[in-house]
Structure 1
Amino acid sequence: MTVIEPFLNKLIDYAGLFPPAGLDMLTSARNYVSYRSGRYAWVLGRLIIPVARLTEFNAALMEVGGDEHLTPCLVSALSTGDAQQDARLISGLDKRVAVVDVLEWKAANLDDVHRLLSAPVQKTTLYVEFPLKDCRQIIPALKEGNARAKIRTGGVTADAIPSVEQIAEFLVTCAEAKVPFKATAGLHHPLRSIQRLTYEPRSASALMHGFMNVFVAAVIAYYGATEQKVLAVLKENDPTAFRWSGHALAWRDQELSAEQIREARENFAIGFGSCSFNEPIADLLNLGWLS
């Protein structure tokens, strides 16, 4: 195995409930349980569930069952926006089968972030999504509040996809402030490319970001790369520009050791949510980057 192993380790949170997949709860829970015991379980991160649907999820997980030798499922829960309601619903989850250890909130502006961080919330890791135009103001506030950042990297319409410049600014700002982040939406494919926005037969297409682009860019940002170099990685669409060996990842003239990748992934570039787990894996296999 190459250094792609520490790079991909627990990288993909499964979000099968969300567009464009939009699966029902039972199917989503069944898929997650299956992936946990599959060949690429080491790539799988948390299951993403809205807090408001945790009771439904609990029932579905009981129906699906699972491998009694596995630890409880780890859940990243999307907040209702009400800390007390979140606490009540999370407390009803059977901790023998699932544990909410991450909570994701959405903030409209800096004032909203301050309100959120001053409110009593669950003792979980907290990620906050916010308008990218405000990242220079909001990311330092997250640092002060011991919270993490969340970036939306796509959606089911072309206008939901942020520019490479916006993503580069976000990554560099997070790196400078030492604020860990996760990404969500639109990262089904490894490399920046034209892809269909949904699974509908007549779906529109758009230029979508690649998860390899975003996370390689994040790792080099963590080690002090300029915004221009981060931007260049985000724009890369040539798979031969990325070279994996047993000890390092190279992107053109930039080389990162396995230990550097491991540290950056653990402390900074945490992962991304995807409504498909199989699609990213299939693309990596097709590229010959995974076996």
Structure 2
Amino acid sequence: MSSATSANPAASVIPGLFRGLFDDAAVFPPGNLPVAEAVPAHRAHRAAWYAESVGPLLCGAGRLDELTAAAAGEQPLRVGLVLPGGSTELAPALAAAAPFEVAGVELATRDAAGALAELDRLLAPEIPAAVELPRELLRGEGLEAALDLIAGSRYRAKFRTGGLVADAFPDEEELAAFLTGCARRGLAYKCTAGLHNAVRHTDATTGFEHHGFLNVLLAARESDPAVATEVLAERDGEVLAKAVRTLTDRQVTVIRDSFTAFGTCSIAEPLADLASLGLLPASPLPQEDR
């Protein structure tokens, strides 16, 4: 537990379902917060009453020099390394991240076997990692083979749930296939992009169909793709909130052992959604950080 969290007794108001759920992706699209602004904003999140809900600050391999300059002279940051360029970025990124506490590595690749071997070779055993394969490789038999391979390692899977174009958003059936495939194997995973809001919805500006993170949390305990698809399609926030309130401690553990975190460029937005559904205190909430 971080010093900020342990020093703040009010942090205990964060239910277990939401602890460490929101990885801080403020510097990534569509937020694109400058690194020099993201660092103090992240430190403020980590000192706030909701600190237990906030994961590490995510940073791409190409911006670690900026991060080092922005964080110099203060308490070391917990940083998640995001490596879109694959295994070749791992060694230099780990070297560049020496000033930080590396909380995890997220490695995108088309070669899962090679990526797993490189992680085994270079990554300390105590540092978790997640392997992201392109969605086109995670369909049909490709999904089964990829999940089998990752499940045979000590690493998590990573799945992209959105982006800047409509095609970046998987539909309910595609996401359900991934979630239930992981559930059947006991394979942990994280998600990224498009999950800022708690409930499935259509964005009024873009028309994109966004999954809700409450939908994903509740679907994470399902092993039947049809049931998971139904949960992912639910658009009534009160229905989802009621389902959350009925979860047992054991069910929460199962869910979070599966769905470990997601990257969000806004910490304020998911907290506000949870507060509006009565699942978190309504105030004080952070200012909008996008």
TM surpasses 0.5: yes
Identity of aligned residues (%): 31
Give how far 1:100 is off.
1.2
SS at match of 2:250: helix
Q: Which residue of 1 aligns with 2:62?
A: 52
Residue 199 of structure 1 corresponds to which residue in structure 2?
none
Q: After superposing the two structures, state which structure 1 stretch, 129-138 or 7-16, moved more.
A: 129-138
The equivalences for 1:235-274 within 5 A come to 235-244=233-242, 249=244, 255-265=246-256, 267-274=257-264
Is 1:195 the equivalent of 2:198?
Answer: no
Establish whether residue 38 from structure 1 lines up as the match of residue 48 from structure 2.
yes
| 1:163, distance to aligned residue in structure 2 (A) | 0.7
Aligned partners of 1:26 and 1:42: how far apart in 2? 23
> 2: distance between equivalents of 1:36 and 1:19?
22
TM-superposition CA deviations, 1:82-116 (whole Å, max 9, x none): 65653334234354xx31131111122xxx11121
Could you tell me which residue of structure 1 aligns to residue 267 of structure 2? 277
CA contact (8 A) 2:241 2:279 kept: no
Tell me if 1:127 matches 2:118.
Answer: no
- The answer on 1:74 being equivalent to 2:78 is yes
Give the equivalent residue in structure 2 for 1:158.
166
Structure 1 residue 31 displacement after superposition? 1.2
Question: Superposed, which structure 2 residues align to 1:79-98 within 5 Å?
Answer: 79=83, 81=85, 83=87, 85-95=89-99, 98=100
Q: Deviations over 1:89-144 (max 9, x none)?
A: 4234354xx31131111122xxx111212222322312111123232110100012
Please say if residues 182 and 271 of structure 1, whose CA atoms lie closer than 8 Å, have aligned partners that are also in contact. yes
8 A Cα contact 1:249 1:257, kept in partner: no
Distance 1:21 1:249, change over 3 A: closer
Aligned match of 1:216: 218
Does 2:24 align with 1:14? yes
> Displacement, 1:75?
1.4
The amino acid that maps onto 1:105 is: L
Partner amino acid, structure 1, of 2:90: D
Cα 1:93–1:114, aligned 2, differ >3 Å: closer, same or farther? closer
In the superposition, relative to structure 1, how do residues 41 and 4 fare at CA in structure 2: closer, same or farther (>3 Å)? closer
Of residues 174, 177, 193, the one that matches 2:182 is 174
Q: What is the TM-score when the length of structure 1 is the normalising length?
A: 0.82
Tell me, in whole angstroms, the C-alpha distance in 1 between the residues paired with 2:235 and 2:200. Answer: 5
Q: Aligned partners of 2:149, 2:209: CA distance in 1, in Å?
A: 32
Q: Give 1:73 shift.
A: 2.7
Secondary structure of 1:281's match? helix
Structure 1 equivalent of residue 207 of structure 2: 205
Q: Could you tell me how far 1:161 is from its partner in structure 2?
A: 0.5
Relative to the length of structure 2, the TM-score reads 0.83
Q: Which runs of 4+ in 1 moved over 6 A?
A: 1-4
Contact 1:80 1:86 in 2 (8 A): no
Given residue 241 of structure 1, which amino acid in structure 2 is its aligned partner? V
Structure 1 residue 34, shift from structure 2 partner: 0.9
Q: Is the 8 A contact 2:14 2:50 kept in 1?
A: no
**Following TM superposition, by how much is the alpha carbon of 1:147 offset from its aligned partner in structure 2, in angstroms?**
1.9
The 3 A distance-change label for structure 1 pair 94 and 84 is: same
Question: For the residues of structure 1 that align with 2:101 and 2:180, how far apart are their CA atoms?
Answer: 32
> Equivalents in 2 of 1:30, 1:102: separation in Å?
20
2:112 alignment partner in structure 1: 113
- In the other structure, the counterpart of 1:289 is 279
Paired with 1:22 and 1:162, the residues of 2 have a C-alpha distance of 23
Match of 1:101?
A: 103
Whole-angstrom distance in 2 between the partners of 1:73 and 1:11:
17
**1:195, CA displacement in angstroms?**
1.7
* Alignment partners' CA distance in 2, 1:36 and 1:3: 15
Q: Number of matched residues?
A: 262
Aligned counterparts of 1:249 and 1:281: Cα–Cα separation in 2: 15
> CA separation in 1, counterparts of 2:202 and 2:241?
22
| Distance change (3 Å), C-alpha of 1:107 and 1:30 | same
Higher strand share: 1
Distance 1:283 1:193 in 2: 13
